[in-house]
Structures are given as structure tokens and as C-alpha cells.
Amino acid sequence: MNLNTNTSMIQEIQNIEPPEIPKHFNDIILKNFCNHKIIYTDGSKSNVKTGLAIITDEETFKFSSLEINSIFTIEALAILKAIELTEQNWKNTKSFLIASDSLSSILAIQNQGTSNEIIKNIQERASSLAPRSVTFMWISAHKNIPGNEKADVAAKEAASTNINIPKLDLSSFKDTARNSLINSKKIHQRLWDQELNNKLHQIKPFLSLNPNPPSSTRRQQVIWTRMKIGHTNISHVHLMRRESRPNCKFCNNAPISTAHLLLECSNLSEQRKIFPHLTLRDILIIHIDIMHNITQFISPPFLSTLVHILPVYEIMCPSSIVTNTTNQNLIKFIIKINYGGLSIFESSCLKLNFPAYK
């Protein structure tokens, strides 16, 4: 398969002033393509529609395409439609030059190993034109090349007006797959919107990716996720033991849970003064830096820095860490909800000469 492409303007326009580009293009046409029929193509995408146009000196063709199509697909469809028109409308013309400002489309046509269905169709149909010839040329957009400017206007009209124009029901596999993914996300979001009593829904009402704390490990991310959904050892171990749900051991006024300890427990109100109006969503979803401190702290290697920082809220001075029983309880809680025991905490306290909480 021998396809003719021309991308010489990429380098040539580097040394040409913008007002001189139209003249330079005309010189190329007169020198190399004076016996060719010149066809300009362009594509456009608006918020609700997509359109494409094919322009010659005598005629203008406008088409709409599927809304799911990317701008690359639309530009490629315009080139494909131009080839179809050479087969149907200009059978007596021997040579064609299809000029497009879509460099990605021209480069894709050069690629003999492409997997894109539309590009492969272009290659096959261009080859089938033999003995007639077609050359695909890249031209710079918005440089006052008359044919390109007309194609640009016509494509935008096709994508923005309600006029009755033919529609091309073609798309690439990539565009179809992307659209299916978008629709799937919309369906899942509608289902998730109904889970009003779900603990995670209360802090994450929208199904979107949330960034992990910078430089976090896999273990830290697991801990972070457990705290988001509220499934921790201290709040769920009673289910494994087939026991009733215990009350908070700090205040004994409410069933124990991650949300209660981070937001509600009256005996931990002092630790919450640094951000008194934050919600659980603020702590676990929005303020990544806060969660990073939590996950860094409860990782065993970080316990050695306990004398320098009180994780979670970072408000207590080093001297009060040792003497403040409530702080020791909170430290014990954070470790226990993720590691299921106090052996790590107790051994670390011994190394640091801390009185282990009993």
C-alpha cells in the first residue's frame, strides 16, 4: 500500500512570517499540484453536536456525525468522506490533493500498522482509487489559507446549527468504548445516589477518584480506605466475636465508631480544636494532608518519631504526649483500629520510655 502524504509545511512555516503562509501554500500548489483537484476538509465539535465539511472551489459539503466522536475521529471522517466524494462525484479527475489541518490524522494515515478502523478505511479506499492518485497534505490552521478557512466555517456551522444535513453514523472503537464508560459511570452514580444510609456515601457522595496522600505506601492506602468506610478492628471486632456492639471506652456515651472518635467523643474534644468545623468528609476525603499525617503515624516505622509530632491533629507539644492520658488513649485507638492489638504500640513505648497505657 503506497500512500502519498505531504507534511513539508511543518518545517517550512518555521521560517515564514504568518502573513506569508497563504502565498507559500499557493506556491506549493503551483509547483507540485497544479493538475490536482484541491479538496479542503475540517471537523468541529460543539457541546451537543459534531460536524464536518468538505470544500472545493465549486462545492461545499456539510455533514454531522455522532456526538460521542472525538475531534480526531471527526477530522478523519472528513477525510474519509472526501475520498468517497472522489469516487462518486469526480470520476473523470485523475489526481486529488486532500488538505487537512489535522496533523494527527495525516500522521495516522502514514502509519501502515494502524488499528483505527476509520484510518484503515481511508488507506484502503485511497489505494483502491488507482490508477487515479490522492495525496494527503497537512496545512496550518487559521493562517488565512482561503480553502481551509471556508472549511473551518462550514464545519462549525454543521456542528452548531439545526439545519437538516446528512449524518454519518460512524465512530471508532475507542470513541465507542469511551462513551460506554461514561454512560456506565452515570448509571453507577444514579445507583450510588440512592445509598443514603451507606457510611461511605455520607463522606463520598460522588463516584470519582480521590488522590492518595503523596508518597503513601500500599499499606497506608489500605488503612486510609478502612477509616473512610468505617470498617476497622475496634468498631467491628465484636461482629467476629458475636458480641453486642460496645460503647466508646473514652466517654461511654455512644457506640464506638471511627466517626464518633474523630468527630463526636466528648473526651477527645481538646484534640479537635485545631479544626472545629470540619466534617468526616473534610478529614478523610478533602484534606489529604491531614490523612497523610494519620497514615504516616500509624505505620510502624513512623512510631519512632512519636516524640516529635502528635499525628491526627498535630496540636499537642512533646511534653504533653507523655503525660496526657487522653492522648495515649487516642494513640492506642488509632493503632488498634488498624493493627488489631497493642503489641506494636507497647513495644514502641518501652523503647521511647513512654508509660504504656493500661
Length of the chain as a residue count: 358
Q: Identify whether the C-beta of residue 42 lies closer than 8 Å to the C-beta of residue 151.
A: yes
In a domain, 81, yes or no: yes
Q: Considering only CA atoms, which of 308, 310, 353 is closest in space to residue 330? A: 310
- The confidence score (pLDDT) of residue 262 equals 75
- The confidence score (pLDDT) of residue 289 equals 58
CATH number at residue 16: 3.30.420.10
pLDDT digits (tens, 9 = 90+) for 275-300: 566 777 776 766 655 555 554 434 44
- Cell of residue 347, nine digits: 513495644
Which stretches of the chain are assigned E, i.e. beta strand? 4-6, 37-45, 50-55, 60-65, 95-100, 133-138, 167-168
- Per DSSP bridges, beta strands 167-168 and 60-65 are parallel
Q: Are residues 160 and 207 in the same domain?
A: no
Q: Identify whether the C-beta of residue 81 lies closer than 8 Å to the C-beta of residue 184.
A: no
Q: Are residues 126 and 263 in the same domain?
A: no
Q: Are residues 137 and 226 in the same domain?
A: no
- The confidence score (pLDDT) of residue 269 equals 75
Q: Are residues 221 and 273 in the same domain?
A: yes
- The confidence score (pLDDT) of residue 107 equals 94
Q: Are residues 69 and 151 in the same domain?
A: yes
Return phi, psi of residue 124, to 5°: -65, -45
Q: Are residues 33 and 75 in the same domain?
A: yes
Across 85-107, average pLDDT? 92
Range of the domain at 46: 5-176
Report the domain count for the chain.
Answer: 2
Q: Are residues 163 and 213 in the same domain?
A: no
In a domain, 39, yes or no: yes
In a domain, 90, yes or no: yes
Lowest mean pLDDT among 55-59, 113-117, 121-125, 337-341: 337-341
Q: Is the pTM of this model over 0.85?
A: no
- Cell of residue 1, nine digits: 500500500
Q: Are residues 205 and 96 in the same domain?
A: no
Contacts of 227 (CB under 8 A, 6+ apart): 258, 284, 291, 294, 337
- The confidence score (pLDDT) of residue 31 equals 93
Q: Are residues 155 and 246 in the same domain?
A: no
Q: Identify whether the C-beta of residue 247 lies closer than 8 Å to the C-beta of residue 253.
A: yes
Average of per-residue pLDDT values in the chain: 75
pLDDT digits (tens, 9 = 90+) for 153-194: 999 999 887 666 666 666 666 776 777 777 778 888 888 888
Instruction: Give the side-chain half-sphere CA count within 13 A for 70.
Output: 16
